[in-house]
């Protein structure tokens, strides 16, 4: 049991677990945008997985080196060699996939990469930028890259999917801002710092409500199957429960595993819907 606990800690602290969450959203996009039932990820999704491992660890190393507060600082400092090894491996694999993509996809990756690299160097200090940057990067990584690489036309339905993804990520990111209230400088002006915890949760609920409303219109216009509509709606309902339970007193594991897992839950609900419908 102790070994299993250490294994989970390694997955969480090395950012491999959050990368699986991003991967889950990326594969979910393949289901939703082209109505695919292929459970094996595309090369774009695999790229996103390894690029996320590198980017998240890079940002943490930078923040810690600048003596900023971080809830995983001690673990990272004790396992620097392992972190650097993971970063090197993930960066090599990411570059391999990057070289195979279309020009438009590569440009979008470079744009996202620049924002991700600038994030710990001052970009995150811009008021309210933190959650918007994360939501934009996750939407780009988990959906837009696949759309560009597959040459999918930007129809109203595709735009609706992108908006749903942005709102969903935005909603499930707010609990992490609630967690980080005790770490973030008040000058960051995150949503919980400015509006308080209760109003922040309300903003999350409104985002998830809009996700369901947009999905309803897609279903009515035969752009979304009943199975996928149910999967998205259930994900929003479960997400709202975890958001409601979020507060700064919850354990790190609650956020880093359970709240983070909401992305994986969407993928699982979609897989189940493919099987049943």
> Digits of tens for pLDDT over the chain (277 positions)?
666 767 878 888 889 999 999 999 999 999 999 877 777 889 999 999 999 999 999 888 887 776 655 556 678 778 888 899 999 999 999 999 999 999 999 999 999 988 887 776 767 777 778 899 999 999 999 999 999 999 999 999 999 999 999 999 999 999 998 988 776 665 677 889 889 999 999 999 999 999 999 999 999 999 999 999 999 999 999 999 999 999 888 888 899 899 999 999 999 999 999 988 7
pTM higher than 0.85, yes or no? Answer: yes
Contact 48, 145 (CB under 8 A): yes
Give the residue from 113, 148, 115, 158 showing the smallest Cα distance to 43: 148
Q: How far apart are CA 234 and CA 223, in angstroms?
A: 18
Query: Using CA of residue 9, residue 131, residue 164, residue 46, what is the dihedral sign?
Result: negative
Extents of the domains making up the chain: 2-276
Q: How far apart are CA 115 and CA 125, in angstroms?
A: 13
Half-sphere exposure of 179 (CA within 13 A, CB side): 21
């Amino acid at each position: 049991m102790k070994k299993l606990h250490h294994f989970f800690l390694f997955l969480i602290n090395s950012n491999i677990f959050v990368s699986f969450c991003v991967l889950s959203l990326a594969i979910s996009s393949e289901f939703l945008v082209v109505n695919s039932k292929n459970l094996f990820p595309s090369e774009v999704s695999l790229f996103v997985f390894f690029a996320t491992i590198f980017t998240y660890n890079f940002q943490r190393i930078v923040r810690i080196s600048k003596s900023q507060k971080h809830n995983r600082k001690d673990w990272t400092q004790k396992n620097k060699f392992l972190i650097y090894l993971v970063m090197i491996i993930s960066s090599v694999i990411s570059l391999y996939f990057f070289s195979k993509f279309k020009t438009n996809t590569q440009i979008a990756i470079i744009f996202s990469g620049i924002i991700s690299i600038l994030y710990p160097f001052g970009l995150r200090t811009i008021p309210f930028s933190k959650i918007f940057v994360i939501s934009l990067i996750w939407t780009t990584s988990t959906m837009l890259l696949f759309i560009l690489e597959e040459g999918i036309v930007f129809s109203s339905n595709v735009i609706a999917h992108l908006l749903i993804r942005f709102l969903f990520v935005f909603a499930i990111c707010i609990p992490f801002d609630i967690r980080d209230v005790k770490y973030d400088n008040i000058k960051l002006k995150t949503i919980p710092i400015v509006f308080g915890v209760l109003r922040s949760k309300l903003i999350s609920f409104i985002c998830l409500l809009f996700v369901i409303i947009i999905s309803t219109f897609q279903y009515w216009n035969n752009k979304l199957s009943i199975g996928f509509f149910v999967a998205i709606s259930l994900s929003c309902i479960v997400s709202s429960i975890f958001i409601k339970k979020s507060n700064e007193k919850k354990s790190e594991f609650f956020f880093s595993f359970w709240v983070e897992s909401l992305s994986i839950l969407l993928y699982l609900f979609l897989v189940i819907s493919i099987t049943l419908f």
